[in-house]
């Protein structure tokens, strides 16, 4: 049997990873795995338990009560199931972005989620996006992409996305959150966001979604044929 192919897409918040990864996966017939959604689901559980993003003891105490399943709907969307309940609609708020980035600094959370992510890649062709996919989760991924964009462009995109969802947001707040998350995701002790040595860097600041999808598919084709 041919081994499964993994495409790892890492990069900072708002670089367009999920939009791009979802489209690339759909066009190639691969499974799309949004690992940020898994960290968000853990963050959501902690907030339900009244545990803050920096409360290491509380997070360690509560992590064993977290049972996460990923289900794929007929719509092809990744649904997050937390202890039996679909929480997909609850995890996309700015508060859950901060919670996810906070819980993601904790080793007990990262260890817990590592196996889940690896076992998906062992049983499917995947396009997996996150922060540490090419460096830690799937260091042997066939294709590694580091997708980035300037902080200003990323904040603009995130603002548009939140406004479309009917949320009231200010650009300055979104920009501050993005910079704060970059700082936390890149400087944490365990599995910080960084570009893998063998990743191809794609800067999407001045590119359309179609252009980024085309460029990433070209990289995948090149690597798959190599
Ligand atoms: O991609 P996202 O914005 O949904 O991710 C939310 C947070 O989860 C992000 O700020 C850091 C964390 N995360 C991580 O540490 N490792 C991953 N592979 C994915 C996300």
226 Cα–ligand 1 center, Å: 30
Residues contacting residue 43 through CB under 8 Å, at least 6 positions apart: 53, 91, 96, 99, 100, 102, 103
Residue nearest to atom 13 of ligand 1 (CA): 36
For residue 137, being part of any structural domain is answered with yes
Classified as helix, coil or strand, 79 is: strand
Among the atoms of ligand 1, which is closest to the Cα of residue 117?
A: 18
Residues contacting residue 220 through CB under 8 Å, at least 6 positions apart: 7, 24, 28, 143
What is the Cα–Cα distance from 66 to 210, expressed in whole angstroms?
37
Give residue 39's domain range. 6-225
Q: What is the CATH number of the domain that holds 33?
A: 3.40.50.300
The pLDDT assigned to 2 comes to 65
Residue list, ligand 1 pocket, CB within 6 Å: 13, 35-36, 39-40, 97, 100-101, 104, 130-133, 181, 185
**Ligand 1 pocket mutation pick from 21, 53, 59, 100 by most atoms within 8 angstroms of CB:** 100
Mean pLDDT value of segment 43-51: 98
Name the domain count of the chain.
1
The pLDDT assigned to 74 comes to 81
Confidence of residue 25 (pLDDT cuts 50, 70, 90): very high
Residue nearest to atom 12 of ligand 1 (CA): 101
Residue nearest to atom 16 of ligand 1 (CA): 131
Only one residue has tokens 């063998």, namely 198
The pLDDT assigned to 1 comes to 60
Go through the chain and tell me how many residues it has.
226
What is the Cα–Cα distance from 202 to 155, expressed in whole angstroms?
18
Pairing of strands 78-82, 68-72: antiparallel
Q: How many Cα atoms sit within 13 Å of 82 on the Cβ side? A: 22
For residue 171, being part of any structural domain is answered with yes
**Ligand 1 pocket mutation pick from 104, 110, 120 by most atoms within 8 angstroms of CB:** 104
Q: Are 13 and 97 in contact (CB under 8 A)?
A: yes
For residue 1, being part of any structural domain is answered with no
The pLDDT assigned to 54 comes to 92
The pLDDT assigned to 109 comes to 97
| Measured distance between the N- and C-terminal CA atoms of the chain, rounded to whole angstroms | 19
Q: Where are the beta strands (DSSP E) in 18-74?
A: 31-34, 68-72
Only one residue has tokens 């999407």, namely 204
What is the Cα–Cα distance from 161 to 211, expressed in whole angstroms?
19
**Ligand 1 pocket mutation pick from 42, 114, 131 by most atoms within 8 angstroms of CB:** 131
For residue 75, being part of any structural domain is answered with yes
């Amino acid at each position: 049997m041919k081994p499964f192919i993994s495409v790892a897409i890492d990069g900072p918040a708002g670089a367009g990873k999920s939009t791009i990864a979802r489209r690339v996966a759909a066009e190639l017939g691969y499974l799309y795995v949004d690992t940020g959604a898994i960290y968000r689901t853990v963050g959501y559980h902690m907030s339900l338990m009244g545990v803050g993003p920096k409360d290491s003891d509380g997070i360690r105490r509560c992590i064993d009560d977290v049972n996460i399943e990923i289900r794929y709907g007929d719509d092809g969307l990744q649904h997050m199931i937390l202890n039996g309940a679909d929480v997909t609609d609850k995890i996309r708020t700015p508060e859950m972005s901060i919670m996810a980035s906070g819980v993601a600094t904790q080793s007990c959370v990262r260890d817990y989620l590592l196996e889940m992510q690896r076992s998906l890649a062992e049983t499917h062709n995947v396009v997996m996006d996150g922060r540490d996919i090419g460096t830690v989760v799937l260091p042997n991924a066939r294709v590694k992409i580091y997708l980035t964009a300037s902080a200003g462009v990323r904040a603009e995109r995130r603002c548009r996305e939140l406004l479309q969802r009917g949320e009231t947001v200010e650009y300055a707040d979104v920009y501050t959150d993005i910079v704060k998350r970059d700082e936390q995701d890149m400087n944490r002790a365990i599995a910080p966001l960084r570009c893998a040595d063998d990743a191809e860097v794609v800067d999407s600041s001045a590119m359309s979604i179609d252009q980024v999808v085309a460029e990433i598919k070209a990289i995948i084709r090149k690597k798959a044929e190599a």
